[in-house]
A and B are shown apart, each in its own frame.
Chain A
Amino acid sequence: MAISVKLDRVMLERGMSLTELSERVGVTIANLSILKTGKAKAIRFSTLEAICKELGCQPGDILSFDDGDD
């Protein structure tokens, strides 16, 4: 996939676990896991906003575009 998710790296930098982020953001661990492993097909602005707010980062810190073959 051209869009890669770097949520695990940002979480590691902030020292935040998946369970803690799940509680703070209000998204289930299963859904966060889908996002973290890159299996997600779409992300809502509301989810992205909540994650960025809790992790104190920009959307670009979590998502990146790899200009290569699929």
Chain B
Amino acid sequence: MRAIGKGSLASLLAIGLHFTRIILWIAFFGLTIAMLTVPFIPAILDLFQSSDSINVDVDTDDIESAGEFIEVAYYFVTVAVMLFVVNRLLEILKTLRFGSPFVKENADRFRSVGYALLLGELAKFAFGFLTLFVDDNVDINSSMFSWLAIIAVFVLSEVFHEGSRMKEEQDLTV
């Protein structure tokens, strides 16, 4: 299989990523609307008021809506991170199709992907912590594989950084 051009793996990946981006944008707008419509403020206020008092008078509906809001916010952050990663990957593929991928910008793009994934994982912990305050079963979990993927992306960033330096040296060798 060819590396670049029509029918290459890069062009197939680009098609797949473009398709994924469309789905992610739809999900992003859907989640934005969901976040705005979930009545979260009264729920959270009631939640904190009830946790301060000994005589707990909890409105179950508010707790559930707080849990729903956390879940929606969690998916919102996840989709936003995925959208950011897909956009950076498309930019990287663009440099591959129109020249050399070993440029400093790609090293920076991989690094930003690493930071975005790291932010996504840390957000999982933050949302997981928030779910402790609500009596709702919100499925938020972090896997070892995700952390390994983050490390792999940072390693890849360093490889591209060195690759771009070598490419520059090669280009400036007469």
Point out residues on A near B: beta carbons under 8 Å. Answer: 27, 31-32, 34-35, 39-44, 47
Contact = CB atoms under 8 A, between A and B. Distances in A.
Interface stretch (B46-54, B89-97, B166-174): B166-174
A34 B169 CA distance: 12
6 contacts: A31-B174, A34-B172, A34-B174, A35-B174, A41-B172, A44-B173
Contact of B169 (A35, A41, A43, A47): A41
Nearest to A28: B174
Contacts of A39: 172
Nearest to B172: A41
A37 to B, nearest CB: 11
Q: Top 3 closest A-B pairs, CB basis? A: A41-B172, A42-B173, A35-B174
Nearest to B169: A41
Interface string B137-169: 000000000000000000000000000000011
A56 B7 CA distance: 51
A44 B174 CA distance: 6
A56 B16 CA distance: 58
B163 to A, nearest CB: 15
A46 B135 CA distance: 76
A22 to B, nearest CB: 11
Contact of B172 (A27, A32, A40, A47): A40
Contacts of A44: 173-174
A31 B173 CA distance: 8
B171 to A, nearest CB: 9
B125 to A, nearest CB: 45
Contacts of B172: 34, 39-42
A58 B93 CA distance: 46
Contacts of A34: 172, 174
Contacts of A35: 174
